[in-house]
Amino acid sequence: MKITERKAIDLVRRNISGAVVKGESALPGAGHDSEGRPGGRHVRSPEPTPEFAAQLVEDFRRLLECLDDAELRSIALWKFEGYTNAEVAARAGCALATVERRLRLIRKIWERELA
């Protein structure tokens, strides 16, 4: 579950790379408290909520179950863990082209499932 949580955080960070950075005053609850300290009492944690993390795990398990072949599931897990295609090929004991072909198949299966 921790791996899923970290991957989700990384995905969000990669998708907001073009965002405009604003100062602290743009944050909700910004300003100063009664003792003159900067606000920010309402800033959300960068960590996903337990409910969100649980939903990600459930969704990922559902997608893995769509893969009826154990080798496809292994390849998907290794890619999710961050291995390169060449590393996956070495782990699976097959050619790089085979891994790339199977990754295309995985994407096709998952696209149908998510449609």
Is residue 18 scored above 60 in pLDDT?
Answer: no
> In angstroms, what CA-CA distances link 58 with 8, 17, 51?
13, 27, 10
Question: What distance in Å separates the CA atoms of residue 65 and residue 50, rounded to the nearest whole number?
Answer: 22
Q: What is the DSSP string of 7-67?
A: HHHHHHHHHTTTPPP--GGGSTT-SB-TTS-B--TTPPPSSPPHHHHHHHHHHHHHHHHH-
Q: What percent of the chain has pLDDT over 70?
A: 67
Is residue 110 scored above 80 in pLDDT?
Answer: yes
Spans of all domains in the chain: 1-48, 67-115
pTM of the predicted structure, to 2 decimals: 0.58
Which tokens is 63 given? 């997608």
Q: Averaged over 79-86, what is the pLDDT? A: 93
